[in-house]
Amino acid sequence: MLKKVKHHSLKKHTEKNLTERDISQRNTSLKYLGFLVDEAFFDDFEMLYEFGRELGLQRKDVKLFTFVETRRKIPSLRQNQITNKEFTWRGEIHNQNAQEFLDFPFDVLIGFYKEKHRFLSAMVAQSKAKFKVGFNDADERLFDLLITVDLQQPEVFKSEVKKYLKIFKKID
């Protein structure tokens, strides 16, 4: 029962954030890159930092935030991680690091997850990123660009994203 209420609240928060989105800065060039990643699906984070370097960014200008369904019992020093338990039944996020990540005005935010994902979609909707990129069957209302690629093939992912960032004049 509580799970249904939480999912309904997430949906309402997502709808509200979609209507309040500021798209006036959508065409700025790439200086800061953010990734929202589903750890159940992908965990090669070094590849994402390397991709940022290939785009001409320094490591400090590439930020990564991940979602895991439930935290493992093993202690972790990772601070840029959120679980479904950190979303209240009202759909609000109770994770200071996540809030800071979402409030940062990334020039490009890449939602690195497949299909529709309630928690990550709510985070994408809440993000202050100027331009948002998603993949394969994601909610098209959340993203400025949807690309259909197999995210398990990093070279194809990289070349497609680069191609579109050049078309949109985000990179040279």
pLDDT at res. 6:
72
Residue 22 lies in a domain: yes
Q: Which residue has the tokens 């990093």?
A: 154
Residue 91 lies in a domain: yes
Alpha helices in 20-153 (DSSP H): 45-54, 96-103, 118-126
CB 149 within 8 A of CB 160: yes
Residue 103 lies in a domain: yes
Residue 1: count of CB within 10 angstroms of its CB: 6
Chain centroid to CA 129: how far?
Answer: 9
Angle at CA 160, nearest 5°, toward 156 and 163? 140
pTM (two decimals): 0.88
Alpha helices in the chain (DSSP H): 2-19, 45-54, 96-103, 118-126, 154-167
Residue range 61-71: mean pLDDT, rounded: 89
Angle at CA 96, nearest 5°, toward 94 and 97? 120
pLDDT at res. 72:
63
Number of domains in the chain: 1
Residue 37 sits in a domain whose CATH number is 3.40.50
pLDDT at res. 2:
66
Residue 68 lies in a domain: yes
85: containing domain: 2-167
Residue 158 lies in a domain: yes
Mean pLDDT, the chain, whole residue set: 87
Residue range 137-142: mean pLDDT, rounded: 87
Which pLDDT tens digit goes with each residue over 70-113?
766 555 556 789 988 898 887 889 999 999 999 999 999 999 98
Which pLDDT tens digit goes with each residue over 33-47?
999 999 888 888 999
pLDDT at res. 53:
96
Residue 172 lies in a domain: no
* pLDDT confidence band for 50 (50 / 70 / 90): very high
Residue 147 lies in a domain: yes
pLDDT at res. 78:
67
Percent helix / strand / coil, the chain, rounded to 5: 40, 15, 45
CB 93 within 8 A of CB 82: yes
Residue 92 lies in a domain: yes
